[in-house]
Amino acid sequence: MDYEFIKMMIQIVIFLPFILFLVYLSLKVGGGKVQSLQNGKYIKVLEKINVSKEGNIILVKIGEEYHIMTSTNSEIKEISVLSKEESLKYEMDKKLSDQEFKVYKDKLKRLIKKGRFKDE
């Protein structure tokens, strides 16, 4: 075998795990920061639903207003702006669903601690 080939294989075996570790570490440490950068202070994408391969319906909060928009590969259009009543209803529904999720999450944690729920 060629000496250069063996040298190259040894370098790959040594440095590839190191590079993979650095990628893992940067994602672990910086992952939350990337998400916080995507959530702007003024504009937030609250929900996004795929309606086709290329089309989405998006609920966006801009300031204090809620906008329903569509997006495709070629354009973004505003469908409507939610009224104050609809905005308040959405916020209340969101709070209720978050509270329900927290209750189920707590129950699941208790079951796991007691050993009644085990992965198989």
pLDDT (tens digit, 9 = 90+) per residue, 58-83? 988 888 888 999 999 999 999 989 88
**Per-state percent for the chain, helix, strand, coil, to nearest 5:** 55, 25, 20
What percentage of the chain has pLDDT greater than the value 90? 26
Model confidence, pTM: 0.50
Distances (CA, A) of 56 to 44, 72, 103: 16, 7, 31
Q: What residue spans define the domains of the chain?
A: 1-38, 42-82, 84-120
